[in-house]
Amino acid sequence: MSTTAHTEPKKIFSEAEDFLPINGTDYVELYVGNAKQAAHFYKTAFGFQSLAYSGLETGDKEKTSYVLQQGKIRLVLTTPLNQDSPINDHIRLHGDGVKNVALWVDDARKSFAETTSRGAEVAFEPYVINDKHGEVVLAGIKTYGETVHIFVERKNYNGTFMPGFREWKSDYNPMDAGLKYIDHMVGNVGWNEMNTWVNFYKKVMGFAQLVSFDDKDISTDYTALMSKVMTNGNGRIKFPINEPAEGKKKSQIEEYLDFYNGAGVQHIAVATDDIVTTVRRLKANGVEFLYVPDSYYDDVLDRVGEIEEDMGPLRELGILIDRDDEGYLLQLFTKPVSDRPTLFFEIIQRRGAQSFGKGNFKALFEAIEREQENRGTL
Ligand code: FE2
């Protein structure tokens, strides 16, 4: 079976420092125009389950949030309730998108102190919230664009999600899709900004660089980009950072930056133990994936070597195969989940590979270019 850094935590990246131990991703919060409908979409299409809710009924007159869960993945969908909320500005500028990437830590105050003393900009100072189930400590630092990392300390809390939320029991509980945890989250940043943010993750958060792809690795006939993958010490947090590169036509990263109005999260990669079953279920639920031409499969095994899976279902579903030094991986990308061509999801199953191959980039980018062509943004 697949082995991952997530299920067998070990210190595999010695460069990463110990001042910011992170247990995993706590939650990802999206600011959206209509959280009620977005929650229905993520339940119906992706198989998320209802977990918690806050809004008028819980005494929050500013905003409503729905918390959804699948495996260890928690999504929070938040929408403003009145015109004065700053959340409106975020939505006006970016459309629906990721605002907060929350990281689960044992000590939020220390995480805040260690990162701000190394140059992180403050999003908000540490504060404590509590209810009858205990207390949660939160603190926030800014990363690329308007995106924030929230440190979440919940060791003294045994409630459903956190104070301010109530359990959300729903009569509508669609079957899950086998999604287990967040494998990585990718940030798109502007021209010449990749190294700025690579250095931020190195210096401020103690991450190590796992792998680097330049525009020769990642280019098609038309567009190009560069990417560096940053990881924390136990490998549970992986943040690739992309920037556009010059090509004959507009880079897909530039298209993202145009529509998002700046840097932001490009995709959330979610892991499964059985990608064929997961993708079949998602497709049946109406999730749209990027098209992979049949010719991709003609020579893929020459490139990646032997794999355990039958090629038939992979070819039928358009699942991509790639490898690194340690093993291989199977992956597939959805179309954008909103009308602006910005955020999308990746489904990934690791078969030994801890990192990323470069072979699929080309297939992915050619698939995105076909979509760009249709949008008139190539
Ligand atoms: Fe990815």
Which domains are delineated in the chain?
Answer: 9-15+177-375 (3.10.180.10), 24-167 (3.10.180.10)
Going from the Cα of 63 to the center of ligand 1, the distance in angstroms, rounded, reads 31
Question: Strand (E) positions, the chain?
Answer: 24-31, 49-54, 63-70, 73-80, 97-105, 122-131, 134-142, 148-153, 166-167, 179-188, 208-213, 224-231, 238-245, 264-272, 320-323, 328-333, 344-351
Mean residue pLDDT across the chain: 91
Going from the Cα of 350 to the center of ligand 1, the distance in angstroms, rounded, reads 12
Q: For the segment 41-84, what is each residue's pLDDT rounded down to a tens digit?
A: 999 999 999 999 999 999 999 999 999 999 999 999 999 999 99
**Would you say residue 7 has pLDDT above 50?**
no
Residue with tokens 């958060």: 205
Going from the Cα of 210 to the center of ligand 1, the distance in angstroms, rounded, reads 14
Check: CB of residue 360 under 8 Å from CB of residue 322: yes
Going from the Cα of 269 to the center of ligand 1, the distance in angstroms, rounded, reads 6
d(CA 227, CA 216): 11
User: What is the per-residue pLDDT for 16?
Assistant: 64
Q: What is the CA radius of gyration of the chain?
A: 20
Going from the Cα of 365 to the center of ligand 1, the distance in angstroms, rounded, reads 12
Q: For the segment 240-291, what is each residue's pLDDT rounded down to a tens digit?
A: 999 988 887 888 889 999 999 999 999 999 999 999 999 999 999 999 999 8
Going from the Cα of 201 to the center of ligand 1, the distance in angstroms, rounded, reads 18
Going from the Cα of 81 to the center of ligand 1, the distance in angstroms, rounded, reads 33
User: What is the per-residue pLDDT for 370?
Assistant: 83
Residues less than 5 Å from ion ligand 1, measured at CB: 269, 346
Going from the Cα of 240 to the center of ligand 1, the distance in angstroms, rounded, reads 8
Question: 15 pLDDT band (50/70/90 cuts)?
Answer: low
Going from the Cα of 264 to the center of ligand 1, the distance in angstroms, rounded, reads 14
Going from the Cα of 239 to the center of ligand 1, the distance in angstroms, rounded, reads 9
Say if residue 267 is exposed, middle or buried (CB neighbours under 10 Å; 0-12, 13-18, 19+).
Answer: buried
Going from the Cα of 77 to the center of ligand 1, the distance in angstroms, rounded, reads 22
Instruction: Answer whether 0.85 is exceeded by the pTM.
Output: yes
| Average confidence (pLDDT) over 361-377 | 81
**Would you say residue 8 has pLDDT above 50?**
no
| Average confidence (pLDDT) over 183-201 | 96
Question: 116 pLDDT band (50/70/90 cuts)?
Answer: very high
Going from the Cα of 252 to the center of ligand 1, the distance in angstroms, rounded, reads 14
d(CA 238, CA 372): 27
Going from the Cα of 356 to the center of ligand 1, the distance in angstroms, rounded, reads 8
**Which has more confidence, 342 or 252?**
342
